[in-house]
Chain A
């Protein structure tokens, strides 16, 4: 697969109305339109979704794994930030 003519895309699927798009995988395609087609064919064969986003992987700004400790370690000791001290009513749905 030539990276120049068919760049990598990341695929996000919304499983049903009301839920968020979730990353499901990646694929190669020659442009945005074909990436949507391919995402439909590769990732929604078993009725997984009602909406698709695709974005070129090289357009995603990503955190550097080297910075992992700096970025994420400090939160490990701050359990009071977790909303575990509340009873969430069932009607609230997806939180």
Chain B
């Protein structure tokens, strides 16, 4: 295999990682549509879901073009099985209560904002352009989730307990953010991917003050679950995909 083809295989896998995380988390957020705690937050959650869906479309469309086998964004989103998905494990966890949803969003945005900032300098101009758009969206998600976590953590006795529990439940999926897959290692060396190791510091710098202001105990992120980037997922993803893909699989190519 020549060098260019090898890079393209990696680039395809990397675009899937970015796109799948956005798609799966966007789907989780969309589960709140019509069930948000207030009308205002219902719309806010749907807005964030749509931001992520937009990012997913851009990444999967690009992945399909890089792969060059005629798969478009729909084929990649709806016709792959769970073991072909490359999303971070945190994205597929059930939406839980509002505290879980907000803590997860805080973690994800706290990681993806510096990730996209780094990707804006990527040697791959398409990834750099996607990152420039997505960075602003993640900055807002970080702000929005952060404001809620502060108010939930430093709110009532019950909201504090539930937010601390959510924090401890979601913390075990953070270590995966900073694990470096073989694909990422090669693309970092090629100046294309963001180096996960370089993102730990900005992640902690942005979320630690928020958790402290929220009077929450900052959990350890040293150890946790891995495998999403390599396609090892839990059963939650299978169920999510079952719901997300059923319509397209029953009616391939259906349009509005």
Contact = CB atoms under 8 A, between A and B. Distances in A.
Contacts, number: 29
Given A37-B144, A41-B47, A45-B47, A30 B40 contact: no
B38 A41 contact: no
Contact of A28 (B40, B44, B147, B151): B40
Interface string B35-59: 0001111011001000000000000
A27 B40 contact: yes
A38 B46 CA distance: 12
A48 B40 CA distance: 17
A42 interface: yes
Given A1-B38, A6-B38, A28-B38, A45 B43 contact: yes
Which applies to chain A's interface (DSSP): helix, strand, loop or mixed?
mixed
Interface in B138-167: 143-144, 147, 151
A84 to B, nearest CB: 42
Contacts of B151: 30-31, 34
A41 B144 CA distance: 10
A43 B43 CA distance: 10
Interface string B194-208: 000000000000000
B40 to A, nearest CB: 4
Nearest to B140: A40
The 3 closest A-B pairs by CB, nearest first: A41-B44, A38-B40, A27-B40
14 contacts: A27-B39, A27-B40, A28-B38, A28-B40, A29-B40, A37-B44, A37-B143, A37-B144, A38-B41, A41-B43, A41-B44, A41-B47, A42-B40, A42-B44
Interface of A: 1, 6, 27-31, 33-34, 37-38, 41-42, 45
Interface of B: 38-41, 43-44, 47, 143-144, 147, 151
